[in-house]
Structure 1
Amino acid sequence: MRLKSLGKYDTELFYRLNRLTAERQCRHVLWMSRTGDGYLYLIIGILLWAFEREHGELFLYTALMAYALELPVYLVLKNMVKRPRPCDLLSNMFVHITPSDKFSLPSGHTAAAWLMACIVGYFYPDFAVLAYSWALLIGMSRILLGVHYPSDVLAGMALGLTIASLSIWLLG
């Protein structure tokens, strides 16, 4: 009974947030989501490794290890839970992109964004608020675009923060 209630609230919140994008092109939301595709993380890591002598190298190694740990855990969870995406299950919603796979839990974009935000926040505390705000917007964009429920985003956030913290503990 309790799990059904959580699912009901999750779906209701999804609809409320997703309706904010009704009949809009959502270019800014799509752009925000695309900053979480992964290329930006690699560019940031390489630039810090090349130009920032104090923490750049350790930052890069920590991020590489974190992503190497996060990706298999993400894939196992996604294929174990097999939760259908809202765009494949619900009606009367707005879908603005075609998802890369068919399952929604956890949100990989959100996991990667929170992982990076946590590592940035650890090594460069002056940029923590910016990094965490950006990660929050990545997660929100996935709901607004119609490909994730709020609980998928929360699961992605938890996964990213957990793996980042483990990697920082091991290498940082």
Structure 2
Amino acid sequence: MTTIKALQTLHSLDVATFTRIVQWNTRRSLCRMARLVSTSADGWFYLLIPLLLGLLWPEIIWPLTATLVTGLAIERLSYYLLKNSFKRNRPPNVIPGFQSVITASDEFSFPSGHTSAAFLVATVLVLLLPLNVAGYLYVWASLVALSRVVLGVHFPLDTVAGALLGSSIGWWAVQLITL
């Protein structure tokens, strides 16, 4: 199988999976929940994390802040470069007649920026917090990824790529800052 054929097959599977998932968005309560979860991964939320956690654990406020700032700066740069290199169109621009529930903030879909930032933050917090919260944080990050598909602004593989990007940069940022 040629590379082109493999990519076409992968795209077809991605579109088919997307089509099944967005059938769920006919439920109003699910759309409201997806919007809420997606909003929880907007950038402003990440500014509050060090402040709130610093109240509970003052000793981690500086390493946590430095790691999140470093990680998010690298993640945003990587996300921007990847989006503008791949230039994958969003579902409404690929599937005739499809309309997303929300309007995306930028033109391209690969990788999902909300998902990559959510997985970066989850990874950093799991590695730095003195609590076992991995399950909760990764469930939240996974729900962010799913919400982006349910809302119709990303294909599933966009969110998988975002999860891998964010997790790997989060791990790297922790290693860099805590050396």
After TM superposition, the score normalised by the length of structure 2 is 0.91
Alignment match, 2:168: 162
Task: Give the partner amino acid of 2:103.
Answer: T
1:133 corresponds to: 139
Unaligned runs of 5+ in 2: none
Does the alignment pair 1:81 with 2:86?
A: yes
What runs of 5+ residues in structure 1 fail to find an aligned partner?
Answer: none
Q: Letter of the 2:52 partner, please give it.
A: L
Give yes or no for the alignment of 1:22 onto 2:30.
no
Question: What is the aligned partner in structure 1 of residue 12 from structure 2?
Answer: 8
Amino acid at match of 1:85: R
Q: State how 1:1-172 maps to structure 2 within 5 Å.
A: 1-22=5-26, 24=28, 26-124=31-129, 125-172=131-178
SS of residue in 2 equivalent to 1:98: coil
Distance 1:38 1:28 in 2: 18
Deviations 1:102-136 (A, max 9, x none): 10000000000000000111112411111110000
Aligned residues: CA RMSD: 1.4
Alpha-carbon deviation of 1:94? 4.8
In 2, the alpha carbon distance for the partners of 1:144 and 1:37 equals 17
Cα drift, residue 4 of structure 1: 1.2
So what's the TM-score if we normalise by structure 1?
0.94
